[in-house]
Amino acid sequence: MEIKTIEKNGVTVVQICGRLDANTAPEAQEKIMPLIVSECCLVIDLKECDYISSAGLRLLLMIARQLPSKKGRCVLCGLSEEIRDIMEMTGFIQHFKTCDTLSTACEVIGKEKL
């Protein structure tokens, strides 16, 4: 797994490439959780994420639970059909706004800032 973080017009984009599972979720947590600061805008790009386990879902839930206390926002984008299905079946999808593309996600989260 590889995690890339870029800033784009006041939005922090976290790109997750590879598998988000029990072996990689702790590293992802170390890199992502410090990004949740006051009034943060996060886009988590899962376009290159080809697998997510319960440990990966747990990390996403941790992110969703931390955001309200910091008045932060998060949008997921690039979900594969398999990951979307898993998130819908488990109810995790209800905790996030989702978009098909990174550009749409950045646009949506930018409008929320207004």
Residue 46, C-beta contacts closer than 8 angstroms, at least 6 positions apart: 16, 52, 76, 77, 78, 79, 80, 83
**pTM listed for this prediction:** 0.93
| Cα–Cα distance for residue pair 89/98, rounded to 1 Å | 15
Residue 10's pLDDT band (cuts 50, 70, 90)? confident
pLDDT, tens digit (0-9, with 9 covering 90-100), for 57-83: 999 999 999 999 999 999 999 999 999
Cβ–Cβ < 8 Å for 63, 6: no
Query: The domain that contains 26 carries what CATH number?
Result: 3.30.750.24
Give, in order, the Cα–Cα distances in Å from 111 to each of 52, 106, 108. 29, 9, 5
Which structural domain, as residue segments, surrounds residue 82? 2-112
Q: What are phi and psi of 16, to 5 degrees?
A: -105, 120
Looking at residue 111, its pLDDT comes to 74
The tally of domains found in the chain comes to: 1
pLDDT, tens digit (0-9, with 9 covering 90-100), for 35-61: 999 999 999 999 999 999 999 999 999
